[in-house]
Each structure stands twice: as structure tokens, then as C-alpha cells.
Amino acid sequence: MNEPAQFQAAVAELRDRLNNILHGKREVVEHVLTCLLARGHILLEDLPGLGKTTLARGLTEAVGGRFARLQCTPDLLPNDITGFNLFNQKSREFEFVPGPIFSDVLLADEINRATPRAQSALLEAMAERQVTVDNERHHLCNEFFVIATQNPIEHHGTYPLPEAQLDRFAMKLCIGYPAFENEVQMLQDAVVTDTDSEDACAPVLQPGDLARMQATVAGLTIVPKLQEYLVQLANVTRDDAAFHHGLSPRAVLMWQRLSQARAFLDGRSFVTPDDIQVVAPPLFNIHISAAQQGSIRTVEDVLAKVAVPTGIERARTVVGKGA
Amino acid sequence: MLNAQATHVWLIVLHGGLIAVWLASRYWCHVSAVSANGVRPAAPIWAYGFIVLVMTGTSFIVSRSANGVAKNWGEWLPSSGGSRRANSSALLGAGDGDWAVSGPNARGTGAVDSEYFLESELSSMYDVMTDAYGEPIPPDQLFRAIFVDEEQFLDRDGRKAPDFGEAGRQFSLYRETLQNRQQQASEDAKALLYVEGGGPLHLCTTIYDSFDGISWHEPPVIDHRCHLESRDPDHSWLWLTDRPALDCLNGCRLHTLRFGTLSTDRVPLPSYMERFRLGKAGGANAQQWAMETFAWVYDGVIRARHCLPSGAFFEVASQSIDESKLALAKPAILSRDTKGDNLEIPKHLEASAANLARQFEDMPAGWPQIQGLTAHLRQHYAHDRDASLPPTCDDPIHYLLHQARGGPDYQFATAAALALRSLGYPTRVVSGFYVDPKKYVAAAGYTPVTKDDAHFWVEVKSADGGWVKFDPTPGFELHRYRPTLLGSVLDSVGQVWAFAAARPVRSCFLLAVLVACWWRRWWIVERCLTVRCLLAPFRDDQARLAMTLRLLDLRSRLAGAARQPHVTPRDWYGRRHDAISDAFLTQLYAASYGNTTCATEDHKKTITHLCRKVVRRLSRRQLQRTSADE
């Protein structure tokens, strides 16, 4: 099995690249990398021009995959996303023309402007990593990763994502405005020479590296006490009347995987309670339906109700199939 | 002045009266009654007054005296006898008039001076014992080849025939075997007594204090009036005040004895009875009536001047022996004596008795010796009610222990009593009835006592003049006092207090030390844990890391900045205190949540060094300072 330490150089380089693209947003970058390694999808909710697209494009370039952008509008059709069968006059046969979803990183911009019909086309792709066109299944690549964005201020003519679709995302992040010095740095970086920009576009990872990293993440150790801790936290959200509905088992599974990814980013081969707690806010943002959804207060309230297991764990089991 | 019960009644009735008035007034407020001239009529004050009058009148009648219901409403309530006020002879028929109404004992029926209940005046338990154990063999049929002193010899030789005048006042060990035991056992319906209440219970009827080698003899009759005292308001319970108070008694058990076919003037009563009451004996003159009726035959046995009729109820409250007290006060309660009453052993039995007693000489004096003897007899020998001593046998102890290895209860009692006399304890043999819990009839709620329940046991004299009973016969249990939880706690507190009061200076010093220790308990625990972490060896690295974390948590709590249970150690210590090295937390986490264990000596040394460093540098004062800065 691959150890997280083997990938630390690549992870550090990846992290640096993204931090150079998005100045002063280290925590956002960490969450994005966590989500990428956990094979989850991200929903970015922020104002226009704060770097959502830049982040997605930079991530694609660093990972070395294909990037596709989908500008969601009310007239977007499912076939515009998945692709369609085109009749080839020469061969007298239908040929499948893949849509933008057949990429490694898909940026679905302003996803809440697409109609529910178009949104649901993304459902199967995000959950199953496959699409069905004319009763024919087409598999997406294993590293398929969706970064969806939505604009929080303009609600006119939007279709809010239903709970079922929200559950397919692993996290919801807000980038926010950069700090003063970071913004100055950003302006300085904008004055670049041609040679600089070419170097910046070279991918960090070799082909297949991301798949190996994701497999390693899935095999990291999490002791039963921490799994019980996760379920206890989930039960708090389910039993508390303040929440409209609590965490689903799928969300708990994703929480565990995100914790493993966070441990991987720290170079550890085991999950700690800190990993679980640090990924909780972006996870709660999307999986908890409450009056004050995703507020820091909500997360703290839930975490405060369950004691952290600190005892020395003797019986250990390795979770995941291993790499 | 109102007693507590009357006060309660008054309060309840007052409450009810107020509610009645309130309800009536509310009702009147909502009644839209308007008279012919359009004026709303005034509230009917007279109706309120009537309600209050009825309620207060009722409460007055009910609470005027303790059994006021019976006194005042006697004719209004159903009872078989009616009230005495209407007809002075109303109670003589069934006797449950006032009692049935007032409720303390609805079945009360007692001994009365009525001819209707008078039966033959048999003065002894002779018939019962004969039926239970068989006829005694007359002395002239006993062949004895032993040495007896001249006086005894002449006395026995002079008796040409059994002296039936004394027959009821002695019990011979030599008896004929009973032939019709089975038939008697089937006649439980004609029980002598019916006992309600928990068993086992020993009911004493006869006491034998001297043994001549053949028979046990009763002490001289004193026929002394019982000193009785009524202490409760309704004069139903009568307390025995002229009995020696035994220190080793405890608890209080209630039993109800209903007389069946037992015809005797002896009242079978528990050995440690403290009070009793008879159904009809209640009332202001109960004490005088009972003192005229009951008398001590001798110490421990009461007789009634008239036969207690079949169906009479006798409620008794008795105490039980508390063995813990006996075991505590070893020599004080049960003391040996070399001369005095109840110590004689027939000369030809001295050797056998001493032989049996020798096994227990080395045991601590007092109750342990008696327990040892009892346990020995109960473990190694069998109870056989139908066995009897052969007329040719001259040593009942030797026969019981070495030949038959068992026998009837009177042989066990004889052997135990004589062996203890040989050790110097004054003893006596007691006969009466054993209320066997195995015979309890659940459907009827009582235990029948038949002639087969006649039983012998032993009592040993205590220093305070009382007698401590024990039962050496296998299969017969003595009721032991089982203290309640509260009682045990209070006893323990009392013992500690007595211990402390005897040593005031040392106790005060110890108390001060204990208070100081309690005041600084967490400081002490923290010091102990620190020493443990720094000096003591640990089972493995994981135990050392866990203990170090526990110590840090304790110090944080003492410093007023306790780590909350939901906060991780890294979040709490790693970000607040530089002294906590990141390496320590990494090792702690690896041990707690990791999947690899490194058992090399270097690794062990590293962890030991890290833990000690953390324990030294992150002191309570340091934590306090950090907490204050925050």
C-alpha cells in the first residue's frame, strides 16, 4: 500500500501552485484539495469575480487533466451537458458526441440558473460517474470532479438546487474577498512575462498520480472509536429539533472520506479527531438543513455535544480497501 | 388538643369546605338567573352556610376521639355486634363490634371469662409431648449398670411407679417409640396453633433446668404476676416490663397466633417477646385485665389463668438475636462460670460431656464456642425424630455421638447443654413448638403448628441475666436478625463514634488530617500522578502517553482552564502552550489513532523523554499563567 509520505512532495507542489493562483486563501485551497482527494464535488457560493473559475482552471492545469466549463442558463438542455448521438452521413451510423461532462474537472458556472431538468442530468454523472444517452451508458473518468458555482445575490430567474442534488456535493465553500496585501500581490502577479506564464501552466502531477492518491486516501486508518464519534455527531444533527433534517448516511460516509483526505494532506496514515472537526464546517454547509445553515455557531454546537475519544485505542481496524 | 390524625382530618375537611364554597360561588356567578323585576338575586348565603356546617360537623364527629367513628357512628355502620352504648351485651356474641369498626384488628377474639369458652383446665403440656415423642419408660424398667450416688439411687429406687403428679413437670429421655406417627402427620387440619408472620419461630412453653441422667426437670413454679404496661393511646399493646433486657437483641417481628386445639394454660410465646395484645383485651382497662389473667410460671414462660379458647388471637411482637452483637462482645455477654445454677452434670455423663466439649476449648470464649458446637452437631449428625434411646443405654451423649450418630431433638439439646455446662456456661433446655417455614400454607396465609412441631432447643445464660437461645438440632433454623441498610449504616456510624470518643485527641488529629486531605485532594492526586509519570515504569508507551495526557487535563482543570471534552488535545494544548512539543502530540495521536506500533528501544526512549519533558515544563503554574493571559 502507498504511504501518504510518498506523495508529500507532489501535494506540497500542488498546494503551492493553488496558493499562488489564489492568494491568502490557504484554508479554501486545503478544502478544495481535500475534496479532490476524497473524490467529492464542490459547490462554490460567492460573488462573481472572486476567483472561482481561476481556481477551477488552475486546479485542472496542476492536476494535468482536461478542463471543461459549462455556463448554466435557463435554456441549457441535458444533451448540452452529457452529449448527443449525431448521424454520420458517411458511415450511415449514429456517433456519440461527448458533452463537456466528459472531462476531468468540470466547472458548472451559476448552476442554479439551469432548469431542474438540466440540473438532474448532472445528478447521475456526479453520483455514479456515468451518463446514459439514448439508453447507452458512457463512463466518465475516475477522477471526474465537479466545481459548481452559484451566485448568492441574484435570485431572480434561478432554480434553487433541490436537497437530493445538494447531497451529491461534498462541500460548499465561500472564497470571499482577498486581504489587502494579498490583493496587492495579485496585482503584481498580473504583470507577467510570457515565459513565466508557460512555466505556470505545466502540470504538477504525472498521469495516474491522482488516482493513486485517491486510492491511498480511501485506505487510511480510522479507528472504531472515531467512527463511533462520527456517528454520534451525525445523531446529534438528527435528534436536534433545530435542524430540519440531519446528516444522511451518505454524508457520514463522505465525512469519513474527507477526514481521511485531510489526514493524507497532513502526511499522516491515520485519521485524528482534528481531521474530523476541521472538515465539518464546509460539510455542514451543504448537508445540514437548518434555520442558520452552515453557520460557525451551528457546527460548534454540534461538536460541543459529543466528547472527543482520546483513550488509547487497542483494537484497530483498517477502513477501506487499501491501495 | 388535637392529635395528628385529627389535625389531618381537620385540614382535609377545611380544604374540602373551601373548595365547596368556591365552586358554589363560581356556579352562582355563571347562572344568569334574573328575577321578575329584572334584578339579579343575591347569592344564597344560607346554602354556603349549610355546606360549611355539614363539613365542619362531620369533621368534628370524626376527629373527636381516636376511634370516634366507632363511638359516634356505631349504630350507623354495619357491624356484627353494634355499639356498646346501645346494648351493653352486644359485643359478647362475636366480639368484633368496636374492633371491626375502628379497624385496629377486625378479627379480634380473645380470652374471656365467659362460660361459653371455658374448657378443662389441663395444667401442663404433658399430652402434647407424649403424643409427639411417645410415652416415657418408667424408671423401674430402665436397666442401669452405672455408678450413681447414694441419694440419687435411693430416690430412684424409692419410686415404685412413675410419679404422674410430677410427670407433667419433667421430660424423660427414655421413651417408647411411636407407632402411629404417619396418622398424626396427616391431621394438619387439627393444628394446635396457626401462626401468621414470617418463620422460623421458636415458641417456648416449658423450661428444664436440671438433668438427673434420665429426665430433665422444670424449675420451681413461682407463679408471679406479669408486669404489663400499655404505652399506645388505644391501650391495645401491652409491654412486658419485668424481663431482663438483653443487649444482643435487635429488630421487631410481628406474629399472630390463633389457638386451635391446644388445650393448656401455658401460652406458647416467642422467647424474646416485648409486647403482645389480645383481640378483645383492648380498652382502658386492658392492662389490669391482662395482669390478672397472665402470670409467669417461672422466668420465660407465661400461663393464663383460664384456658385460651380455640379461635383466640394473640398478637406478639418479638425481637431476634443479633449475632453481630454477640460476636462483638465476646466475653461480656456470655461468660463462663464455675459455680452456680444450671451447671450440674450427672456424674456418669461428665466424661462424655467433657469429651464433646474438648473440641471447642481452643476456640475464643463466648459465642464462637457455642457456634462451633452447634455447627459441629448440625454438620456431623442427623436428626431422627422417631429414634429413641434403648433402655439399656446409660450414656445418651455417647449413644448420640458415636453409636446412633443422630437422634431426636431432645438428645441433641441434652448433648449441647451438657457439653456447654462442661465448658462452664450455665445452660437450660427449652421445649415448645417450632414454626417451620416449610409448612407455610400460602393460600391461607398461616403456618399450622401440630404436635409434630414440638421441639427442644437450648438456652445459655448471659451476663445480664437473660438467656440466649440456640438450636443444635440439624434442620431447625434460628431466626437471625438481618439489619436493614439504614440500620447497618447507623450501627457503623455509632461504632465509629464510640471508637473516636474513646480517643479524642487522636481522633481530632485524624479528622483534621482527613479534612486537609479532602480540601487538597486534587492537589494530592496531581502530585501522585506527576510522580507516577516521572518515576514509575509503564506497561508500554501507549499507557505512558495516556497517563501524561490525563495529568495535563487534571492540571488544566486545577489551573481553571479545563479542556472541554469536545476539544481535541491538539486544539487545546498545541495552540495555547508552546511547551507542548508538536512531537509529543504526534506521538500521542499515533498511539491513540494510528495503526502501527514501533517497539524499538530508541522509540521507547524518545517517548519517555517527550512525556517527562512535557510533565516538567507544562506545570500547573504555567497553565495558570497562560489561562490568565487569555
- Select from A308, A317, A319 the residue whose CB has the most chain B CBs within 10 Å, as the one to mutate to test that interface: A308
Would you put residue A322 in left (φ > 0), alpha (ψ -120 to 50) or beta? left
Q: Answer whether B591 sits within 8 Å of A312, measured CB to CB.
A: yes
Which of B542, B568, B596 is nearest residue A308 as measured by Cβ atoms? B568
User: Cell 485542472 sits at which residue?
Assistant: A60
Q: Answer whether B592 sits within 8 Å of A277, measured CB to CB.
A: no
Topology (CATH level 3) of domain A217-304: Helicase, Ruva Protein; domain 3 (1.10.8)
Could you tell me if A315 lies within 8 Å of chain B, comparing CB atoms? no
Could you tell me if B589 lies within 8 Å of chain A, comparing CB atoms? yes
pLDDT tens-place string over residues B411-467: 999 999 999 998 888 999 999 999 988 888 877 778 888 888 899 999 988 887 788
Q: Is B31 a member of any domain?
A: yes
Q: Which of B212-216, B334-338, B437-441, B484-488 has the lowest mean pLDDT?
A: B334-338
Residues of chain A numbered 216-245 and touching chain B (CB < 8 Å): 221-223, 225-226
Could you list the pLDDT tens digit for every one of the 323 residues in chain A? 567 888 889 899 999 988 988 888 899 999 999 999 999 999 988 888 888 888 888 888 888 888 888 888 889 898 888 888 889 899 888 888 999 999 888 888 888 888 888 888 887 788 888 888 888 888 888 888 898 888 777 667 788 887 777 888 899 888 888 889 888 888 888 786 555 555 566 788 887 888 899 999 999 999 999 999 999 999 998 888 777 778 889 899 999 999 999 999 999 899 999 999 999 999 988 887 655 555 556 788 889 989 998 865 443 333 333 33
Q: Which of B86-95, B135-144, B559-568 has the lowest mean pLDDT?
A: B86-95
Residue B307's closest CA among B335, B247, B265? B265
- Give the mean pLDDT of B322-332: 68
Q: What is the largest CA-CA distance in chain A?
A: 70
Closest chain A residue by Cα to residue B566: A307
Q: Which of A125-129, A263-267, B112-116, B479-483 has the lowest mean pLDDT?
A: B112-116
Residues B551 and B477 in one domain: no
Q: Is B224 a member of any domain?
A: yes
Grid coordinates given for A189: 502577479
Q: Cα separation of B40 and B22, whole Å? A: 20
B588 to chain A nearest CA, in Å?
A: 9
Q: Answer whether B593 sits within 8 Å of A223, measured CB to CB.
A: yes
What pLDDT does residue B126 have?
72
Q: Which amino acid would we find at residue B335?
A: S
Could you tell me if B567 lies within 8 Å of chain A, comparing CB atoms? yes
What pLDDT does residue B295 have?
84
What pLDDT does residue A245 have?
78
Q: Answer whether A311 sits within 8 Å of B571, measured CB to CB.
A: no
What pLDDT does residue B102 have?
45
Q: Write b or e for each residue in B472-492: b if 16 or more Cβ atoms lie within 10 A of its Cβ, otherwise e.
A: bbbebeebebeeeeeeeeebe
Q: How confident is the model at residue B158 (pLDDT cuts 50, 70, 90)?
A: very low
Residues recorded for chain B? 630
Which of B568, B569, B592 is nearest residue A312 as measured by Cβ atoms? B592
pLDDT tens-place string over residues A182-212: 888 888 887 865 555 555 667 888 878 888 9
Residue B76 has pLDDT above 90, yes or no: no
- Residue B269 in 3-state DSSP? strand
Q: Answer whether A277 sits within 8 Å of B571, measured CB to CB.
A: yes
Could you tell me if B186 lies within 8 Å of chain A, comparing CB atoms? no
Residue B186 has pLDDT above 50, yes or no: no
B626 to chain A nearest CA, in Å?
A: 22
- Give the mean pLDDT of B294-298: 83
Residue A323's closest CA among A58, A96, A3, A91? A3
Could you tell me if B563 lies within 8 Å of chain A, comparing CB atoms? no
Residues B68 and B213 in one domain: no
Residues B432 and B563 in one domain: no
Q: How far is CA B590 from CA A7, A166, A221, B239, B400, in A?
A: 19, 35, 11, 77, 76
State how beta strands A42-45 and A145-150 pair: parallel
Per-domain boundaries in chain A: 4-188, 217-304
Q: Between the ranges A196-200, B129-133, B548-552, where is the mean pLDDT highest? A: B548-552
Could you tell me if B542 lies within 8 Å of chain A, comparing CB atoms? yes
Can you give the three-state secondary structure of B458-509, one letter per residue?
A: EEEECCCCCEEEECCCCCCCCCECCCCHHHHHHHHHHHHHHHHHHCHHHHHH
| CB-CB neighbors (< 8 A) of B575 in chain A | none
What pLDDT does residue B441 have?
81
Closest chain A residue by Cα to residue B541: A312
Q: Between the ranges A158-162, B69-73, B227-231, B544-548, where is the mean pLDDT highest? A: B544-548
With vertex at residue B31, the alpha carbon angle to CA B30 and CA B32, rounded to the nearest 5 degrees, is: 105
Residues B591 and B536 in one domain: yes
Could you tell me if A1 lies within 8 Å of chain B, comparing CB atoms? no
Which of A221, A304, A310 is nearest residue B549 as measured by Cβ atoms? A310
Could you tell me if B595 lies within 8 Å of chain A, comparing CB atoms? yes
pTM of the entire predicted model: 0.53
Residues B497 and B606 in one domain: no
- Give the mean pLDDT of B153-162: 43
- Give the mean pLDDT of B247-251: 79
Q: What is the DSSP string of A232-297?
A: HHHHHHHH-TTEEE---HHHHHHHHHHHHHHHHHTT-SB--HHHHHHTHHHHHHHH-EETTTT-HH
Q: Cα separation of A35 and A42, whole Å? A: 7
What pLDDT does residue B627 have?
73
| CB-CB neighbors (< 8 A) of A307 in chain B | 565-566
Q: Cα separation of B462 and B366, whole Å? A: 10
Could you tell me if A305 lies within 8 Å of chain B, comparing CB atoms? yes
Q: Answer whether A270 sits within 8 Å of B593, measured CB to CB.
A: yes
Q: Answer whether B568 sits within 8 Å of A305, measured CB to CB.
A: no
- Give the mean pLDDT of B187-199: 76
Residue B493 has pLDDT above 70, yes or no: yes
Could you tell me if B327 lies within 8 Å of chain A, comparing CB atoms? no
Closest chain A residue by Cα to residue B574: A274
Q: How far is CA A47 from CA A71, A112, A115, A153, A175, in A?
A: 15, 13, 21, 8, 9
Residues B506 and B537 in one domain: no
Q: Which helix (H) or strand (E) holds B357?
A: helix B350-358
Q: Which amino acid would we find at residue A173?
A: L
Sequence-ordered list of residues with C-beta below 8 angstroms from that of A42, at least 6 positions apart, any chain: A31, A32, A35, A145, A146, A147, A148, A169, A170, A171, A172, A173
- Give the mean pLDDT of B108-136: 59
- Give the mean pLDDT of B16-33: 78
B498 to chain A nearest CA, in Å?
A: 46
Residue A93, strand partner residues: A88
What pLDDT does residue A215 have?
92
- Give the mean pLDDT of B195-218: 87
Topology (CATH level 3) of domain A4-188: Rossmann fold (3.40.50)
Residues B149 and B272 in one domain: yes
Phi, psi dihedral angles at B254 (to 5 degrees): -105, 135
Grid coordinates given for A56: 477551477
Residues B314 and B461 in one domain: yes
Grid coordinates given for A14: 500542488
Q: Cα separation of A39 and A264, whole Å? A: 13
Q: How far is CA B288 from CA A250, B67, B190, B282, in A?
A: 89, 21, 33, 11
For chain B, give the percent of residues with pLDDT over 70: 75
Domain count of the fold of chain B: 4
Residues B29 and B168 in one domain: no
Q: Is B260 a member of any domain?
A: yes
Q: How far is CA A318 from CA A233, A321, B296, in A?
A: 21, 8, 86
Could you tell me if B539 lies within 8 Å of chain A, comparing CB atoms? no
Residues B300 and B163 in one domain: yes
Residues B273 and B211 in one domain: yes
A53 to chain B nearest CA, in Å?
A: 33
Q: Answer whether A311 sits within 8 Å of B564, measured CB to CB.
A: no
What pLDDT does residue B328 have?
67
Give me the domain span that covers residue B587.
520-629
Q: Cα separation of B36 and B31, whole Å? A: 15
Sequence-ordered list of residues with C-beta below 8 angstroms from that of B273, at least 6 positions apart, any chain: B240, B316, B317, B318
| CB-CB neighbors (< 8 A) of B571 in chain A | 274, 277
Residues B166 and B255 in one domain: yes
Could you tell me if B568 lies within 8 Å of chain A, comparing CB atoms? yes
Q: Cα separation of B77 and B96, whole Å? A: 13
Closest chain B residue by Cα to residue A302: B566
Sequence-ordered list of residues with C-beta below 8 angstroms from that of B442, at least 6 positions apart, any chain: none
| CB-CB neighbors (< 8 A) of B591 in chain A | 312
Tell which of B17, B46, B78 closes a domain.
B78
A38 to chain B nearest CA, in Å?
A: 20
What pLDDT does residue B412 have?
93
Judge whether A143 and A217 are in contact, CB under 8 Å: no
Which of B564, B568, B595 is nearest residue A270 as measured by Cβ atoms? B595
Would you put residue A131 in left (φ > 0), alpha (ψ -120 to 50) or beta? beta
User: Cell 393460600 sits at which residue?
Assistant: B443
User: Cell 414454626 sits at which residue?
Assistant: B435
Which of A225, A268, A311 is nearest residue B546 as measured by Cβ atoms? A311
ipTM passes above 0.85: no
Residue B65 has pLDDT above 50, yes or no: yes
Q: How confident is the model at residue B64 (pLDDT cuts 50, 70, 90)?
A: low
What pLDDT does residue A279 have?
93
- Select from B556, B563, B568, B596 the residue whose CB has the most chain A CBs within 10 Å, as the one to mutate to test that interface: B568
